Structure 1
Amino acid sequence: MATLNGSSASPEALQALALTNYGHFTTMRVEDGGVRGLALHLARLVADCRAVFGAELDAEWVRECVRREAGGRAGALMVRVTVFDPDLELTAPDRTGRPGVLVTTRPAAAGAADRPLPPLRVQRLPFRRDMPSVKHVALFGQLRLRRAARLAGFDDVLFTGADGLVSEGCTWNIGFVDEAGTVVWPEAEVLPGTTMRLLRAAGTAQVTAPVTDSRLRSMRAAFATSTGFGVRALAAVDDVCLRPGDPVIGALREWYAAVPPDRL
């Protein structure tokens, strides 16, 4: 099901998005009408709309659109809110009208508040997002490298900058646990994920620091964060083996599961 501004999305509107691929989005996990970090999702959409379209977005209207589509549905599902202009033209992207709010849904995977997903084995590959602070719809570069990593026998890809510093995963943030049990978030240009931002309030020792190859090899554990699965352990980065059962990861997972959802 896809709705645009609260009504069924027309094929013409969806075609416009497919042809221009210009817009931004956020993805939230809705569980029985509640969303962890709902205010963060809405704030992201408002800020990104200014950056991408130079326009103001009504956060309460976005909330209403999501409520209409998913607020009364039982269980867990993934809701993606995409903001785009159905009238935008390839030849004149500066002439934008009023951005629309597209809401789409899909089934939610396990792992956020129920049972954890299996740990990931990831491959480091160099990549830098275009406009990394904005969650925009141009995903070709990330997906191309995810495909390459999976074809090489890994589960996913972990990006590094031109300087070799670890930044983020394809569609997730990464955190490490050093030998002292401190959570280390990479100091790099990354898309600040909602789950990562919530976890920064967890009652664990945390720092932000550059993660070089040598520092990565000294870490005892690592984990991915995403709205879709919450906290997911990593088993390995390239040839570096990690501890998926580390107690710090378990504590973060429990803390995140206990975050009360905000009602739509």
Structure 2
Amino acid sequence: MGREAIFMNEYQIIELLIAYWPLVYLEIYRLLPLSSMLFNTRPQQQDDEIDSIAKILEKKLPDGSTLVDYIVMGLVNKHKTLSRLKIVDFHRCSSSIQMTKEIFRLPLLWMTPERRSSIQKRIYIEKSKLDKYIDGFNYVYQYYDKSIAHDTNFEPIKIIHDCQIINEDTLVGLEIQQLTPFRFHYHKLWINNCFRQILSPNISYDINLVLSLTNADNITHLHLSDPNMETTENELTLLVRSLSNLRNLRVLCLQRVLNLYPNR
């Protein structure tokens, strides 16, 4: 039923299907009508497949909404007694910036607008930036808020999706997840210099701030990009200490990380 609904752009059915999902495990990939929308012309490579899936998930309807929006709405409106859902797996789906932002907004979207404005004390983000972000969030989601059963307690849901620390969305989602039913689980982590830019001035740049918000043993891939990192003893020590906490790390990419010649 889900594939037919997506093929016909009847995304409201997807929202209801997810909200009342009768099984413990939901793999988003298997909801998609791949055979009819992707592979009817030629065999595709894995990267082509992921790009095509991203187009399905992020395709805008005339009202500006996307399939991801309806998936998210189904999750925040999960029926606490009729749904058995505990794991949502976005494996093989897109890890695009837009997808990441939408998924990591789940905890904040689940909260009432009033509660969103009272989370400042828990967040590492600079206060004025956080206030601006929350105000913007409430404005953008004011229409959706009318259709959400905010603060409804149900069993925690594990969200499996790669994590990119690209702006306030992902950091806020990680920091407040314990206040909500959503728990993010990821193996691949990207951190760029936006992380430094949104931190409070009194907070030292330390990727352990991110690692402390998840189970670091799950992380197998780390991509760190920050050309503003200085070769000071403090930042280098913090970096090495953070890497030493990743006991199961298999792939490490340090892209433009150390500014060896800051005066050039």
Q: TM-score, normalised by structure 2?
A: 0.29
Q: Normalising to structure 1: TM-score of the pair? A: 0.29
**Larger RCO, structures 1/2 (Cα 8 Å, 6+ apart):** 1
> Hey, which of these two has a bigger chunk of strand by percent?
1
More helix by share: 2
